[in-house]
Amino acid sequence: MAPSVSVIAQPEHTTIQLAKSNANSQNGQDVLEDYTGNYQFAHIEEAQVSRAMIKRYFNTMYERAVSDVVIIGAGSAGLSCAYHLGKTRPDLKITIIEANVAPGGGAWLGGQLMTPMVVRKPANRFLDELNVPYEDEGPFVVVKHAALFTSTILSKVLAMPNIVMMNATAVEDLIIREDFQGKQRVAGVVTNWTLVALNHDTQSCMDPNVITAPVIVTATGHDGPMGAFSAKRMVSAGLLKELGNMRGLDMNRSEPAIVNGTREVIPGLIMAGMELSEHDGANRMGPTFGGMMGSGIKAAVEALRIFES
């Protein structure tokens, strides 16, 4: 039961007093929101804090061990996919695995570590959908700070009840099995906390965990310490002869190539964003983000097609 709240307006500040009457939730203590030196918190046992986190985190891991969709990578492409998919199909259990502590990939800044984010039309429609303001420059728009896009989409994605994100968690491998036609398909991901994944050379075997899902969307960015993860694994697993390797910067070729090329590259695995440039040998676009948004949405459309077929 929510505690009853009385608000006492005072000339120079507002005091919110939660009444003593709700003995259960307040343990009979006063709590007081008062910024004149009398602020009082409800008493808490330290172990309650631990248990509040542990119970939820491990319940989530238990529940999401079987997901409907796993999205690998919470950059601009992965988050755009999560938003469109989560909104269109609130019944699907969508689990995002992000290796970094901070989700968002490269979308906290524009180009050369500058703050404005350029988005070519018509991808500004996605900004309208998210209610992210921008300046219109004709063929493109400019968001005043890339972090405004990233924080907005993150907040909307995380507020969706069907979406869970596990950050500081790396996908270390894919579950690859034969389907009933004898074809190899991706059926899940192998995960570990990133700090563990980074220490396989310093410790003896630290086995991972798994999440199964009929659809995996991989959006791990271009090659780097963690990037292009699934594309590289496809090569080492013999599912792809070789990487196409990202080509030089050409904004006009690259953005439509990435959006239109976003697809199920092998059964069960949809590839989006700059990871696809490594797979297909497509050009890079540099600091313009409409292609990432479009590719994420196309990945969601592909996932919907699989669920509806």
| Residues at the site binding ligand AHZ, with contacts judged by CB under 6 A | 72-78, 97-100, 105-107, 170-171, 219-222, 226-227, 229, 273-274, 284-286, 289, 292
Is 104 annotated to bind a ligand? Reply is no
Residue 38 identity (one-letter amino acid)? N
Instruction: Specify the length of the chain in residues.
Output: 309
- Residue pair 140/115 in contact (Cβ under 8 Å)? The answer is no
Closest CB to ligand AHZ among residues 18, 277: 277
To the nearest whole angstrom, how small is the minimum distance from the Cβ of residue 69 to ligand AHZ? 15
Cβ-closest position to ligand AHZ: 75
Q: How far is the CB of 275 from ligand AHZ (least distance, A)?
A: 6
Per the annotation, does 34 bind a ligand? no
Instruction: State the minimum distance, in angstroms, from the CB of residue 4 to ligand AHZ.
Output: 44
111 annotated ligand-binding residue? no
**179 annotated as a binding-site residue:** no
Whole-number Cα distances in Å, 138 to 110, 127, 134, 289: 19, 15, 12, 16
Angle in degrees, 0-180, between the axes of helices 76-88 and 146-159, rounded to the nearest 10: 40
3-class DSSP state for residue 256?
helix
User: Which residues does residue 186 pair with via DSSP β-bridges, in sequence order?
Assistant: 176
Two tokens, residue 52: 């509040």
Beta-bridge mates of residue 166: 97
Q: Looking at beta carbons only, is 31 or 216 nearer to ligand AHZ?
A: 216
Smallest separation, CB 218 to ligand AHZ (Å):
9
296 labelled ligand-binding: no
Binding residues for substrate: 77, 98-99, 106, 171, 207, 222, 274, 284-286
